[in-house]
A and B are shown apart, each in its own frame.
Chain A
Amino acid sequence: MSKKKQQTISRGKNSNGHEVVSIERRVFSGPLPHPDILKGFDDIVPGAAERIIKMAETQMTHRISIESRVINADIKSSKRGVIFGFIIAILMISAGVIITVEGEPVVGGIIMSTTLVSLVGVFVIGSRGQSKERVEKENKIQDRINLD
């Protein structure tokens, strides 16, 4: 968060000869840097402000492209998880059924129950992880807005 406080105190006398004190206070707070920072750069190197703005634009394009690529990759990864998870679950349960039918009900039962317990475990942990991530993000954004 960018914050800047500026206070100017000026003293003088009015037409009646009374002392007058005026206090001017400027407070800046927001997600963007204070314009004086850019102005400062531009004063030292003319054209620096424009260059910095261009760099910010390039960075923004780059960030958006990276974010969309990461999200797309995550969605693909999630889809792969559904497909492979389903295939593994079907294979394991089928194996359990075949082994049970073949006369080894204990081994077959263990394979099937282990598969189901694992799936339920992944579901519970996955749901909790997602919920935790969302709460963290919500708290983060709430904190940032309250700081403003």
Chain B
Amino acid sequence: MGDIYVKNYLFAEPSIFEGVARILDFGNNMSVYNKSSSDDVADEKAIFNDWAAIGDDFRFSIEMYEQEKTTNNIKG
């Protein structure tokens, strides 16, 4: 199962390329963030994504535990 959590969904990640491009960004047009249609929608997305991160961590831990158990069974 793939990850549900979307990392830093509000903005594009900075890079050296973006830094060079900022030399000509006199109007600060590169500092743009993902906006939502309303505060409620923004909250919904943020809360969902926070829980998705925790859910992904849970799934990762369950997979790790299963692997650990399988390895122990093979050894034991």
Contact = CB atoms under 8 A, between A and B. Distances in A.
B15 to A, nearest CB: 6
Contacts of A133: 12-13
A127 B12 CA distance: 10
B8 interface: yes
Given A31-B52, A51-B65, A63-B53, A74 B29 contact: no
Given A37-B62, A137-B8, A82 B20 contact: yes
- Measured as residues with beta carbon below 8 angstroms from the partner, the interface class of chain B is 35 or more
Contact of A60 (B33, B57, B59): B57
Interface string B44-62: 1100110111111111111
A81 B59 contact: no
Contacts, number: 156
B24 interface: yes
A126 B32 CA distance: 13
Contacts of B12: 129-131, 133-134, 137
A135 to B, nearest CB: 8
A52 B11 CA distance: 32
- Measured as residues with beta carbon below 8 angstroms from the partner, the interface class of chain A is 35 or more
Q: Which of B16, B18, B55, B59 has the most CB of A within 10 A?
A: B18
A41 B69 CA distance: 11
A89 B4 contact: no
Contacts of B45: 141, 145
Interface stretch (A13-21, A94-102, A104-112, A116-124): A116-124
A41 B48 contact: no
A8 interface: no
A101 B14 CA distance: 39
Given A31-B54, A56-B61, A81 B24 contact: no
Q: What 8 A-B pairs are tightest by C-beta distance, nearest first?
A: A81-B19, A126-B21, A85-B20, A55-B61, A31-B55, A78-B14, A78-B19, A130-B12
Given A52-B58, A83-B19, A138-B9, 5 more contacts: A31-B48, A56-B58, A59-B60, A85-B22, A138-B34
